[in-house]
Amino acid sequence: MSYAPIALSTAFASFDTLWSPHVVTRVNDYDVRVAKVEGDHIWHVHTDTDEFFLVLDGELHIALRDGAGEHSVRLPRGSVFTVPRGTEHRPSAPSGASILLFEPTGTSSVGDRHGDVPDHVDATTGRALPSGADHDGAPST
């Protein structure tokens, strides 16, 4: 157990991979994850959990599909949005964005149902921050 705070700027500086959520801390059985994103993610569904998004920088778009058809939400910096469980969604960021996600530990970044995962999307339940970036110190190289 560490009492050291985590600087999000340090966390973001510690990795470059796009669409690759990194776990910065846990709250009970939830992860707080951060990700750098640009271009399109893939259509996917989280059958059993909602998924919370906070846009820290840039602008995130989320396309949604439900029984009523297809919708799109635009989330400028500072916006929050929750994708309801069971709703097909595809995040995208034409000009890039930095986002924070809050979802149960073990939640897959590509959901429970999805098509082929392209190389630019990391299918993960959340990467660990590199050692040194998981507290408020200089990131390791």
Please name the helix (run of DSSP H) or strand (run of DSSP E) that holds residue 13, with its range, or none.
helix 8-13
Candidates 19-27, 29-37, 49-57, 131-139: pick the segment binding Ni ion (CB under 5 A).
49-57
Distance in Å, CB of 17 to Ni ion, minimum:
17
> Hey, how many other C-beta atoms are within 10 angstroms of the C-beta on 69?
7
Closer residue to Ni ion (CB): 82 or 140: 82
Distance in Å, CB of 44 to Ni ion, minimum:
6
By the rule CB under 5 A, 103 interacts with Ni ion = no
Distance in Å, CB of 107 to Ni ion, minimum:
8
Residue whose entry in the numeric block shows the structure tokens 């700027």? 9
Amino acid 38 reads: E
Residue whose entry in the numeric block shows the structure tokens 């390791």? 140
**Binding residue for Ni ion (CB under 5 A) from 11, 19, 36, 51?**
51
Amino acid 127 reads: R
CA distance linking residue 87 with residue 85, whole number of Å: 6
CA distance linking residue 114 with residue 134, whole number of Å: 31
Closer residue to Ni ion (CB): 7 or 73: 73
Please work out the total of residues on this chain that contact Ni ion, with binding judged by CB under 5 A: 1
Candidates 1-9, 23-31, 51-59, 62-70: pick the segment binding Ni ion (CB under 5 A).
51-59
Distance in Å, CB of 90 to Ni ion, minimum:
9
Half-sphere exposure of 11 (CA within 13 A, CB side): 24
**Positions that interact with Ni ion (CB under 5 A):** 51
